[in-house]
Structure 1
Amino acid sequence: MMRLDDKTALITGAAGGIGRAVAERYAAAGARVAIADLDAEAAEAAAEAIRHAGGEALALAMDVTDEAAVEAGVARLVAHWGRLDIALANAGIQHIQPLHELSLADWRRVLAVHLDGAFLITRAALRRMYAQGGGCLLYMGSVHSKLASPLKAPYVTAKHGLLGLCRTVAKEGAAHGVRSNLICPGFVRTPLVDRQIPDQARALGISEEAVIRDIMLKDTVDQEFTTLEDIAEVALHLAAFPSAALTGQSVVASHGWYMQ
């Protein structure tokens, strides 16, 4: 079993969904976990649940698009625990709309959370990791880091961008003992995905059942959603992997939707 004893992890967007599942998995594997989220109350509730289960957790109110907030959050974590070993840039949002109707404001909003947020977390984390002699940067990509789908231009663009950032961190970080990898889930039944179903049904003029069957799960091998537990297990493996043999990679967990 992979373990993270004596490791300290920061996960953004971790008050719910995939981020919370990863945080709970890391804590169960022995890590001290910082739950960073825009929703401070939900972040504290997630941290308290980990503490109640016997783990060690810290809640951080953080807007990942706010440079000062990211710097302050990472500084608080390091002041509290002394180091930062693992950082997962997980915070993300979605917007469903055809490109020709898309506003610049909505385009920028999606890219800001995914890419600006990942950059700010990366920069703050690397400064700590370089100083301490190593660490692990992880990014929550998507099958949409590899493929495109209609109606999701800013999301697809952002997820492709995370792949480039991850690979650059792997190149630059190697000399400092820092690894970097990208997790690429298929569709996971989170609130982010649940909100897409009626949006896509309206935009495409089909039923919600058809969205699930004919769009979301069409290219999987078994017509199954990927689970929170699936992604948390991949995130644990990547965080605990013992060498730079696994760096700069994108690991797809999608029931066979997109095979590299």
Structure 2
Amino acid sequence: MLLKNKVAVVYGGAGSLGAGVAKAYTEAGARVFLVGRTEKTLREVADATGAAYDVLDAGDEDAVEAHADSVVERAGRFDVSFNLVPRGDFQGLPLTEMSVADYTRPVVRGITCQFITARAAARRMAAQGSGVILGLNSGSHNGSPMLGGTGAADGALDALIRQLAQEAGPAGVRALGIWTAGVVDTLTPEKLSAAGAPAPDEAAVAGIRAHLDSLRMTKRSPKIADIAALAAFLASDAAAGLTGTWVNATAGMFPS
């Protein structure tokens, strides 16, 4: 089992991707703690995956630090940190028509939350001499029009992960990430509407998924199970040589 005896924390664990990662991690042998702000959805994912859960805001410094201590107290260690908390991205308008708030929100909210959780994890992992901090974004900093502040937010996270890998590496901590350019089975009318799209129906969502497929070299977009399996591998000792980099899991949306 890839993650036998490992302890993982998944921030934003009640979302569709968080649930998929929790399932992959528990099946790989890890003890998993889900973190989020809504107990009902966290409990549903925990019941389905066998993970534990804790209700807190991953953007609250004090709460995250206290929770990291509690994970070590309960499980004896802290091996994997994966932050999948939504950033409030707003898309679908050209930059010349976008408000400052809509452009900057995913950048500020996203990097703040990512920094808080990564710092808490790195502190505990450095003390024990090992650990893995994972990030995930769309890879849109490589150049994607009409995505508002998503590219800037992705670029900020890329920089954080690379710098953290350099600074925490001597203490045995790895930091790396995954580019997805969209995970098609996470797309729903509700999520697309929240990101700024005109309330799409199921037919419109199917069209968006098909369009994403057409842009890939493989003509098949990554799905939750694909990304979750990759996340399990990257968190494992089998990927011990990987740090300070981003894995291009876009199925060839763009080369790297």
| TM class by smaller structure | 0.7 to 0.9
Give the CA deviation at 1:200: 4.5
Give the CA deviation at 1:243: 6.0
Give the CA deviation at 1:59: 0.8
Q: Which residue of 1 aligns with 2:222?
A: 226
**1:111/1:133 CA distance change after superposition, 3 Å:** same
**Is the 1:130–1:176 contact (alpha carbons within 8 Å) kept by the matching residues of 2?**
yes
What is the SS of the residue equivalent to 1:180? strand
Q: Which residue of 1 aligns with 2:49?
A: 50
Give the CA deviation at 1:168: 0.7
1:78-135 Cα deviation digits (max 9, x unpaired): 2221210010122123211332333333334312332111100111111101111111
1:146-195 Cα deviation digits (max 9, x unpaired): x2222222111111111111111111111100011111113213455653
1:21-77 Cα deviation digits (max 9, x unpaired): 0111000010000111122221122112222xxxxx221223222222222322222
Give the CA deviation at 1:199: 4.5
**Is the 2:138–2:181 contact (alpha carbons within 8 Å) kept by the matching residues of 1?**
yes
**Is the 1:217–1:225 contact (alpha carbons within 8 Å) kept by the matching residues of 2?**
yes
Aligned mates of 2:253, 2:239 — CA distance in 1: 28
5+ residue gaps in structure 1? 52-56
Instruction: Select which of 63, 68, 92 maps to 2:62.
Output: 68
Aligned mates of 1:79, 1:104 — CA distance in 2: 42
TM-score for the superposition, normalised by structure 1: 0.86
Aligned pairs for 1:10-25 within 5 A: 10-25=9-24
Letter paired with 2:10 = I
Q: Which residue of 1 aligns with 2:151?
A: 156
Aligned mates of 1:137, 1:58 — CA distance in 2: 19
Q: Which residue of 2 aligns with 1:115?
A: 111
Letter paired with 2:222 = T
Letter paired with 1:107 = Y
Aligned mates of 2:159, 2:94 — CA distance in 1: 25
What is the SS of the residue equivalent to 2:149? helix
Kindly indicate whether residue 163 of structure 2 is the aligned counterpart of residue 188 of structure 1. no
**1:243/1:183 CA distance change after superposition, 3 Å:** closer
Aligned pairs for 1:1-260 within 5 A: 3-51=2-50, 57-93=51-87, 94-96=89-91, 97-145=93-141, 147-191=142-186, 194=189, 195-196=191-192, 199-200=196-197, 211-214=208-211, 216-242=212-238, 244-260=240-256
Aligned mates of 1:191, 1:243 — CA distance in 2: 26
What is the SS of the residue equivalent to 1:174? helix
What is the SS of the residue equivalent to 1:153? coil
Deviates more, 1:186-195 or 1:161-170: 186-195
TM-score for the superposition, normalised by structure 2: 0.87
Letter paired with 1:187 = G
After superposition, the CA RMSD in angstroms is 2.4
Q: Which residue of 2 aligns with 1:54?
A: none
Aligned mates of 1:149, 1:35 — CA distance in 2: 31
Letter paired with 2:53 = A
Aligned length: 249
